[in-house]
Amino acid sequence: MPKSGQDIVPQTVTHVFLYTDKSSQSVFTLALLVHLSLSSIVMLLPILLLLITNPQSRLASPRAIEADPWKLLPPIGEFSLYFIILSLISTLIAGNWAWIPQTWGATCVTTLKSSFSYLRPNFALLQVDPF
């Protein structure tokens, strides 16, 4: 699925804040990104893991992550708080909760339709060669 400009900008800003040790700003822009596009939730765990460790590449010398998993709780709580605040602001602006199925619902339906289109059976594979 091609990314739009509204997805690329918060994603880039999230990474910039992440690599400059500005964790709160990084978590906020991640919450904004997920609020704009729910499919970006898959970035939550990798970014949180980079927050509790150092954001240096492990390609040259792969090793296990040396971090306490309990350090994930404050950033997860901060992300949840930002996400809830953004949702409440959207609800106040829209006047009610009707914006959710029209935005996130449309995203989920579109994503599911495109995902299931790839799951159709290919009957050409089932043809038996007579020879």
> 3-state secondary structure string, 21-47?
CCHHHHHHHHHHHHHHCHHHHHHHHHH
In a domain, 93, yes or no: yes
pLDDT above 70 (res 75) = yes
Read off the pLDDT band of 34 (50, 70, 90).
confident
In a domain, 61, yes or no: no
pLDDT above 50 (res 131) = yes
In a domain, 126, yes or no: no
SS3 at position 128: coil
In a domain, 41, yes or no: yes
Read off the pLDDT band of 121 (50, 70, 90).
low
SS3 at position 97: coil
Higher confidence at residue 124 or residue 71?
Answer: 71
According to the model, what pLDDT value does residue 77 have? Answer: 92
% of residues, the chain, pLDDT over 70:
68
Number of domains forming the structure of the chain: 1
Q: Per-residue pLDDT averaged across 75-92, rounded?
A: 91
Longest dimension (CA), the chain: 69
pLDDT above 60 (res 103) = yes
Q: Rounded to 5, what percent of the chain is helix, strand, coil?
A: 70, 0, 30
Q: Where does residue 79 rank: exposed (0-12), middle (13-18), buried (19+ CB within 10 A)?
A: buried
Q: Per-residue pLDDT averaged across 93-112, rounded?
A: 74
In a domain, 128, yes or no: no
Identify the domain containing residue 110 by its residue range.
5-55+69-119
In a domain, 99, yes or no: yes
pLDDT above 70 (res 35) = yes
According to the model, what pLDDT value does residue 51 have? Answer: 83
Q: Are the C-beta atoms of 46 and 101 separated by less than 8 Å? A: no
Here the tokens at position 73 are 């709780």
In a domain, 129, yes or no: no
Q: Per-residue pLDDT averaged across 40-57, rounded?
A: 80
In a domain, 124, yes or no: no
